[in-house]
């Protein structure tokens, strides 16, 4: 025998609707998996001009190209066996640069990837990120042990700059021109943020206020408002050019590896470990979890022209695509009902992949029931549902006569 919560009968009418709208196993209709043709880890994705022609790079020198929006991904002839970590095509789909691990891994194409030519970096440290701000001539690359390189001749010559740090740097971005830029990184004890206003002649260290290392940085529309994110679900935002950084709530403990705001500083996406995808439409005041449909960690996200059509890549050859901003049919009613009709408390994220959190009730006890009314678990509000199988559940404060909250755990 099992016990039915006292006010659970009031939800009997809703159970058939819950089963219809929220089946026990949800598919990622917002994000659709594409066939990459490889099991190599993919580390970066970039669509230079539109949502049709794009590139992805990764382990074992993998370079993939699509010209039909990802319907087909074609492997390009490898010129290295090193892991390729970052790529950027600054002005068109023909001329682009790739950097990677091991010494001297910089590749360049001027014919859309038909051929790739190795360039000489002059350093032995791994390179993690490359960016060309305004043209195909002036660019920057950053990497391990504080490495920063700059070129003004399209990579014929790369010159080492003085970063002032020995911490690894994982991402670099110049928002408006080739003068003002940011680089982020760190280690297990600190998040490093650097800024230059003179094209890298000097780099100044900014106070991040976080002990988590940072993996990605972007200033969407100007050099004042920007975002950086990294380990432990860390998201930071600045509106004063990095003078101060404010921590935002991601509602995930998973590391975040890539951020992209396609058209403005309001709507953006972040991806990370264990298939994590987050979206904001209000400049990060709220980050909402999306269903990726994969347990594989995601390393890079890019929306080429708008906030609807985008791509994410990750481990084991994972490539995902959305054409509706990542919002699945199943997710829309979940988000609406959770935000409008759950009553006294909320579970975030919802749907969730690993576990959910009850903000403001982290130390209180909660009981979970399945759709048949069976008690299936007891939790503290800071880690709800960690041991549940994918499906639909109802949460209720232990020992209190309160309305249950519908939560969904996904695969």
368/380 Cα distance (integer angstroms): 11
- In the prediction, which pLDDT does 369 show? 84
What are 244's two structure tokens? 């101060």
**Cα 282–Cα 350–Cα 384 angle in degrees, nearest 5:** 130
For domain 32-322, is the CATH number 2.130.10.10? yes
> Is a pLDDT exceeding 80 seen at residue 92?
yes
pLDDT digits (tens, 9 = 90+) for 127-183: 999 999 999 999 999 999 999 999 999 999 999 999 999 999 999 999 999 999 999
Q: Chain centroid to CA 297: how far? A: 9
List Cβ neighbours of 218 (8 Å cut-off, separation of 6 or more): 173, 226, 227, 228, 259, 260, 261, 268
Pairing verdict, β 375-380 and 391-397: unpaired
Please check whether residue 408 is in contact with residue 22, taking contact to mean a CB–CB distance below 8 angstroms: yes
Find the length of the chain: 411
- pLDDT for 7 beyond 60: no
- The encoded tokens of residue 323 equal 């054409």
Report the DSSP beta bridge partners of residue 310.
322
Q: Please tell me the predicted confidence (pLDDT) of residue 344.
A: 63
Least confident of 37-51, 277-291, 346-360: 346-360
Whether 29 has a pLDDT exceeding 70, the answer reads no
- CATH 2.130.10.10 domain position(s) in the chain: 32-322
How much is the pLDDT for 352? 85
- Segment 349-373, tens digit of pLDDT: 888 888 888 888 888 888 888 776 7
Higher-confidence position of 13 and 132: 132
101 phi and psi, to 5 degrees? -80, 180
**pLDDT tens sequence across 300-344:** 999 999 999 999 999 999 999 999 999 863 343 333 333 333 446
Q: How confident is the model at residue 74 (pLDDT cuts 50, 70, 90)?
A: very high
How far is 378 from 54, CA to CA, in rounded Å? 47
- Residue given tokens 């509000």 in the structure block: 381
Please say whether the beta carbons of 41 and 314 come within 8 A. yes
Per-residue model confidence (pLDDT) at position 372: 67
Cα gap 350→116, rounded to integer Å:
44
Residue 102's pLDDT is what? 80
Nearest to 176 by CA among 240, 239, 219: 219
Q: How far apart are CA 316 and CA 220, in angstroms?
A: 30
> Does 131 or 389 have the greater pLDDT score?
131
Note whether 252 and 289 are within 8 A (CB).
yes
Written as six digits, the tokens of 403 are: 């309305």
Mean model confidence pLDDT for the chain = 87
pLDDT band with cut points at 50, 70 and 90 for residue 390: confident
């Amino acid at each position: 025998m099992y016990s039915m919560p006292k006010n659970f009968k009031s939800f009997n009418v809703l159970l058939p609707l819950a089963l219809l709208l929220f089946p026990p196993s949800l598919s990622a209709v917002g994000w659709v998996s594409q066939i990459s043709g490889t099991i190599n880890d993919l580390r970066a994705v970039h669509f230079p001009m539109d949502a049709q022609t794009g590139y992805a790079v990764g382990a074992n020198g993998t370079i993939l190209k699509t010209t039909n929006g990802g319907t087909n991904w074609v492997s390009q002839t490898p010129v290295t066996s090193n892991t390729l970590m970052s790529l950027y095509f600054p002005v068109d789909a023909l001329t682009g640069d790739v950097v990677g691990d091991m010494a001297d891994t910089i590749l360049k194409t001027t014919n859309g990837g038909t051929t790739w030519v190795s360039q000489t970096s002059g350093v032995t440290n791994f390179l993690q990120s490359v960016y060309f701000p305004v043209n195909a001539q002036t660019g920057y690359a950053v990497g391990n042990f504080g490495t920063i390189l700059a070129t003004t001749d399209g990579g014929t010559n790369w010159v080492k700059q003085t970063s002032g740090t020995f911490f690894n740097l994982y991402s670099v971005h110049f928002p408006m021109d080739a003068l003002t830029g940011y680089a982020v990184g760190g280690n297990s004890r600190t998040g490093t943020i650097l800024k230059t206003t003179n094209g890298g002649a000097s780099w100044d260290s900014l106070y991040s206020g976080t002990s988590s290392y940072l993996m990605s940085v972007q200033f969407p529309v100007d050099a004042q408002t920007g975002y950086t994110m990294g380990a432990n679900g860390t998201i930071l935002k600045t509106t004063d050019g990095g003078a101060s950084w404010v921590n935002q709530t991601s509602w995930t403990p998973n590391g975040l590896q890539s951020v992209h705001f396609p058209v403005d500083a309001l709507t953006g996406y972040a991806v990370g470990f264990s298939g994590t995808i987050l979206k904001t439409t209000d400049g990060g005041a709220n980050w909402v979890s999306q269903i990726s449909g994969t347990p594989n960690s995601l390393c890079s996200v890019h929306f080429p022209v708008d906030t609807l059509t985008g791509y994410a890549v990750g481990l084991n050859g994972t490539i995902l695509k959305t054409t509706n901003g990542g919002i699945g049919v199943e997710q829309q009613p979940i988000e609406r009902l959770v935000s409008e009709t759950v009553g006294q408390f909320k579970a975030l994220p919802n749907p969730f992949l690993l576990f959910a959190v009850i903000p403001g009730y982290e130390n209180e006890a909660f009981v979970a029931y399945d759709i048949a009314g069976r008690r299936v678990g007891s939790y503290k509000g800071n880690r709800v549902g960690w041991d549940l199988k994918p499906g639909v559940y109802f949460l209720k404060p232990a020992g209190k006569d309160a309305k249950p909250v519908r939560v969904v755990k996904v695969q």
